[in-house]
Amino acid sequence: MGVTLERALEIANQYPLAKKEEKLPLMMASGRILYSDLKSKVDDPRFDNSAMDGWAVREADCKEEGTILRIVGTSQAGSEEIPIVGSGEACKIMTGAQIPEGADAIVMVEDSTTQPNNVTINGPARPGFIRRKGENLAQGTVALSSGTVLTPACISLAATMGYADVSVVGKPKIAVIGVGDELTPPGEPLSESSIYESNTFGISSLVEKMGGTPRRLDLIKDSIDHLRETLVEAAESCDAIITSGGVSMGEWDIVRRIMEQEGDVRFWKIMMRPGGPPLFGTWMGKPIFGLPGNPVSSHVVFTVLVAPWMSSSMGVHEASRPRLSIRVRVMMEEPLKGAPGKLCMRRISIRQEGDKLIGSTRTHQGSGNIHSMVAHNGLSLLPPDSDCEEGDTIHALWLI
Ligand code: AMP
Ligand code: MG
């Protein structure tokens, strides 16, 4: 039977990753998760400045078109000495430069004609062209809060606020262990009965994409003693453990057996297809996900269970989470068969046509066929016991 996917996530979320702090130069922090709030060290803008190239003037002097003002000097971005603007006077000003004392409006350069010592004003003087000190951000404001994923715009804002270094959430180290007698690393000679091992590579790459550091450990050749040793090493050196294979009903399903006998199982089996038999619990106090061995199953379970757990565990805001998929509605071009009693996640291709998302499915769907994950870019979310007819709109995950 097992639990629903929602319940599985709820249970896993009770065992979050331990959050560690890492201080990094700003240049190294792109894409990382902010550990603590950042308060602005300065006002932004730092001082009243001009939004336009033109003339800093007194608005009251410029009520009539054709007014002639005496030029008192120039304020350019970065100038230290700025003239004062008195009545009947104008100071040449560049975008971003400080507003001279006495001036309260800007005339655009396009609205003026210049003589050697005077300027004729041919257009309006606008106070609205002054960018006010602190109008974007007052000093002391928390503009980036802990848990924010640092996008390029966030990096720019952190620099604006005066930060050369930032504290980010340390990348969790996650052990990845493949289990199965038949598994041989790619590049090595295959025997008659062996296959290339792929899951630990796929899962490690998913861990990396989610902001973790994978640590691939020895492949386990279906030996419970070797598995125990490796799990101990994993628990001692990593923050969480992911295994692939060996969680079904069979006698050789040693991950399930060792967890039942020596670990702490919180759930086994999720009501979903593919990916039915995953297991979750703790081993020596560390969260452990036992993913199924079928390559598609392990990939899908990672996407819908491990990835959201990693995100919320690292304290990431819902809106800015690193994620592997986006929930969307798609109109299916072909019928899809659901699964009795299980959430059914078939591989589908999603494309945009106008303002609609269209889904189709073409290749062989077997849960052993990792090529189906490459050929498609989505997963259906068909509720238990429901099929989809051609033309139906369904919920789906768009893989990104
Ligand atoms: P299991 O969950 O151990 O019963 O494995 C289910 C299927 O997935 C079998 O056909 C295995 O050969 C295959 N499999 C298990 N582990 C891996 C792996 N790490 N890489 C590729 N295929 C695997
Ligand atoms: Mg196996």
Distance (angstroms) between ligand 1 centre and the Cα of 295 equals: 7
pTM given for the model: 0.91
Q: Give the integer Cα–Cα distance in Å for 61 and 88.
A: 6
Distance (angstroms) between ligand 2 centre and the Cα of 293 equals: 6
Beta bridge partners, 326, equal: 398
pLDDT single digits (tens) 1-31? 799 999 999 999 999 999 999 999 999 999 9
Does residue 197 have its Cβ closer than 6 Å to ligand 1?
A: yes
Best residue among 183, 299, 301 to mutate for probing ligand 1's pocket (most ligand atoms within 8 Å of CB) is 183
Element (H, E) at 334: none
Query: What one-character-per-residue DSSP string does 367-395 give?
Result: TT-THHHHH--EEE-BPTT--B-TT-EEE
Are 37 and 105 in contact by the 8 Å Cβ rule? The answer is no
Query: What one-character-per-residue DSSP string does 145-183 give?
Result: -TT-B--HHHHHHHHHTT-SEEEEEPPPEEEEEEB-TTE
From the list 166, 191, 169, the residue with the least C-alpha distance to 181 is: 191
Averages of pLDDT over runs of 10 residues in the chain (400 residues) are 95 95 98 96 97 97 95 93 96 96 97 96 97 97 95 97 98 97 96 97 97 97 96 98 93 93 97 93 98 96 97 86 93 95 96 97 77 92 96 97
